[in-house]
Structure 1
Amino acid sequence: MIPDSPQLPTPPAPEADSLDLVKSRARWRAAFFSMTAAAVALSAAVGVLLLTPTPKAGGPHAAASPTTSSPTPEADEESATEPADVATEEPTPAAETCVGKKYEAATDRDVKKLERTADDKLGTCLVIYGEITQFDSATGKTSFRANVCGSKRYPEYGFLSDCDTNAMFDIDPAAEKAAAELVNGDVVEMRVSVAGTLTYETTIGGSMTVPKFTAYKLHKYATTK
């Protein structure tokens, strides 16, 4: 009698995956596919950027920038012929001259009054006399200072007495030649027009306002030197 062969143990059947493991794998797959889709979208966006042409300078899409046009020869010629607009001061009306007018004789009193009234006597044409007291580098070649009066006087002992109204004179071009021969101390007959008053600084730091004249004719007839 043949003995029965031994019975081998039956291997256990594999256990079915638990429900939690199945859910975990499902979530992992979903995350994987989501990341893959995001990577694909990112790659596509980068590709679009790389393929988009960059606008060239001066192209139709370039930003407008201020430009400076070079001057043309015609513009240079026009600017050379047309004077630039420059702010200028209005010329001061010149004092009335004595050309063609009669010179009036003046008394010493008349001349003294001009210390106060010269601005009211503009353009008055007078014959006056006086001693030149300053005609140097400070006054220049076209003006001088003198002590004047209305009467013709001659110096005595190197001094011209009773002729002491301090005044300033501008020299008209008609009198420049005669003025060039004058020096301090000369006694002169002058044909002048009243030009108002002038305020100047003294050597001691003060100021003085004196009558001002324009001299048209100058004639030296004596000297205190």
Structure 2
Amino acid sequence: MSDYDVLRVFCGPKGGYGNELGVIREGSVLPDRADRQELAAELGFSETVFVDDPERGVIDIYTPTLRLPFAGHPCVGTAWLLDVPELVTPAGVVGARLDGEFSWIEARAEWAPPRTLRQYATAAEVDALRVPPPGEWIYAWAWEDEAAGRVRARAFPGRGDGIDEDEATGAAAILLTDRLGRALNITQGAGSQLLTAPQPGGWVEVGGEAAGAAVTRRGGTPRPGP
């Protein structure tokens, strides 16, 4: 098994926080889906990406328990790592660009896995939420400053796979942006930051800061924090 990269995606304004992502750059060493699923469960990230063609940006995305046709934070992080103009996912071709410290992707809301977008009256209510029991995938959100498009959010996958709360979720941010029809500045989890903007033709752009890769060998020491 080759080394893998550990990224933090959607970091906060001072480079902290962000959602961890595992990326296996040489996906060809593990072509079988069952083997990929097993490794994704072993690594324990909210998502793990297998790169099948680094030049064309062909990728395959897994949570610890299932394969996803598209996911936001894996695409943002992998686009930053590979520095490619697009990614090819089972859901469709995702546009990608780098803008200073920020990595951006452009995708469609219908590509996102189903999520329940649950609005609360205040950001304090979102902060006070406890992790719900396994069941539906809930994206809890509230306006911090509606006029400025600032949102407070938390995400509860509800899959019972050890990821009780997702620190930053690009797909849910895309769904919320599509529903509200406006650009958003989202603070999610402990302090991650996601920026979004609706685009012509039903596309939505989501971006954030990705922090440098740490590399760990499978079977070696435990994976490091970024």
TM-score (norm 2): 0.21
The structure that is helix-richer by fraction is 1
Query: Which protein shows a greater Rg?
Result: 1
TM-score (norm 1): 0.21
Q: Specify which structure has the bigger relative contact order, considering alpha-carbon pairs within 8 angstroms and separated by 6 or more residues.
A: 2
The structure that is strand-richer by fraction is 2
